Amino acid sequence: MIELSNFKLWLTENTGYCDKTISNIASRFKRANNILPWHNKEIYQFQLEQEDGFKKLSCTIRSQIKQSVKLYSEFINTPVEEVLDDRHHKYRVLSLFSNIGVAEAYLKEMGIDVVVANEIIERRAILYSKIYPDTHMICGDITNNNIFNKIIEESKDLAVNVIMATPPCQGMSTVGQKLEDDIRNRLICQVIDAVIEINPKYVLIENVPSFLSTEIEVEGKKVLIPELLKSKLGSKYCIEENVIDTKYYSVPQTRERAIVLMTRKDQTFKWVIPNQDDKIITMRDVIGDLPKLDPFITDVDEKEFLKIVPHYYERKIAAEKISKWHIPPHHIKRQVVAMQHTPTGCTAFDNELFYPKKANGEAVKGFRNTYKRQNWDTPAYTVTMDNRKISSQNNVHPGTLEYIDENGEGIYSDARALTLYELMKIMSIPDDWQIPDDTSEAFLRRIIGEGIPPLFVKKVFENLIKQESKRCQN
C-alpha cells in the first residue's frame, strides 16, 4: 500500500515545492504504481521502465514519473527525524484527531513538544504541517491497522509521555444528529488502545459533555464511555472526569466541554483541572476596541450599496491594517437591513418592520437564536462551524447605535457575521499563530468552529507543570 497523503506531507516539510507541484508529483507516482505496483527495492525503477505502459508515455511524462519515484523512495526510506538528542522538554505529546492544531497553539512556547500528530483528512494534515513543521504528522485513518501501528511505533521512538485526544464529536453533539450507532463515537476505542500500547504518564481527552453519557457497543455489549475507560485503563490510571465551561478560564466564549484527565498511578501527583479564574472575559474586552466594519452586500449595485453602507471602503481599509483575516463578510441586502435595525443582544425576529424575510417578501420562520446579535458585556456564545451566516445561530456582531434615521429608527453598526479575526480572538487563538497567507477563509472558519479554545488547553498544561514543579521542590 502506498502512502500518498504522508508522501505529500513529507514533500511539504522537506522541499520548497508549491502545493500544485506537490499534487502533481503525487499524481505521477500514483500513475507509476498503477503501471507497476510499488515495492521498496532499488530495482523498482528499472523494472518500471521496462513496462509497456511506461514506454508508451511521452518523454516529459516519463521523466516526471521517474522523478516522483526517486522522491517517493527517498520519503519511504527516510527514518523519523531523531528529535530526542536534546531532551530539554519534559513533555512529549502525541496529538490524536489533531485537525489543524488549534488546541496546540500555545504548547510550544510553554516548552511542550507535540512530536507526533494524526489527522485523517489530508487537507487538514497538510495545513497542520505548515503551522507545526517540527511535528511529525501521520495522515490517515487511525482505525486502519497500518496507520495505527505507525502512530504507535513513532510515538515510542520519540518517547511520547502525554497523549492528547480530541475525537470527533458530531455523533454526540447537540448540533449534530446524535445517531446512537454513529461510528465516530467508537473512535475512543483507538484512543484506549493507543494508551495501552504507549503507556504515557498523562492523557487528556476532550469532547462535548454528552461524551460522558454516550453508550457504544464493545464486544457485543452496550457500555458507557466512562465505564469503558475505567474497565480498560482504571487499574493503571487515575481517571478524572470533568465538565467545564471555557468562559471560567479567561476564554471570552461560553463553550462547555467534557475533559478527561488520566494520570498513571506510578506518578506522585494527579493531573487535575485548574481552578477557575477570578474574572470573566467579555466580547467588549477582546473586540470592543476594533473600529466599525460594514459587510459587503452581494445583491445590489454600487449606488445602492453605498447608500446602505456609505463608509464601507474606508472601514474595510482600516480593518485590513489590523489583520489579514479581518475581512468584511458577504451578505444579502434584506439580511443586512434587518440587522441594521436590530439592537445589541436582540434578534431581528422582534423587529416590527424589518424582520427576516425571504426573497418573495414572506416572513422567515426560524429559531430566536438566529438573526441574533451577540452581547457586549458577556462572553460570546459557542462558536459553531456554520459561523459565517446571519441566518445561523448567534453569529452576528453586537454592533452599536450609529444614528437615528429620518423615520426615527435606530440604525446599528456592524450588521454582519463576526469576521474570522474576531472569531480567532473569541477562540483565544494567539495573534502570532502561523497560518499561511493562502489558507482559505471559509476552510478556517469551519475548522475554528470545531476546535477547543487553546487558552484553556494552555491552562490545563500549566497546571500539570505547576504540580510537577511543586513535587520537585518538595
Catalytic site residues? 169
**Nearest Cα residue to 162 out of 246, 225, 94:** 94
DSSP 8-state class, residue 455: H
Segment holding 112, helix H or strand E: strand 112-119
Cell of 75: 520519503
Dist CA 94 CA 163 (whole Å): 5
- Own/partner contacts of 427-430, CB < 8 Å, gap of 24 or more, are 427/102, 427/251, 427/253, 427/383, 427/451, 427/453, 427/454, 428/250, 428/251, 428/252, 428/253, 428/453, 428/454, 428/455, 428/456, 429/102, 429/105, 429/453, 429/454, 430/105, 430/106, 430/454
**Nearest Cα residue to 238 out of 229, 246, 247:** 229
- The total number of residues shown for the chain amounts to 474
Alpha helices by DSSP H, 185-239: 188-198, 225-233
b (16+ CB within 10 A) / e for 337-372: bbbbbbebebbbbebeeebbeeeeeeebebeeebbb
- Strands 221-224, 91-96: pairing kind: unpaired
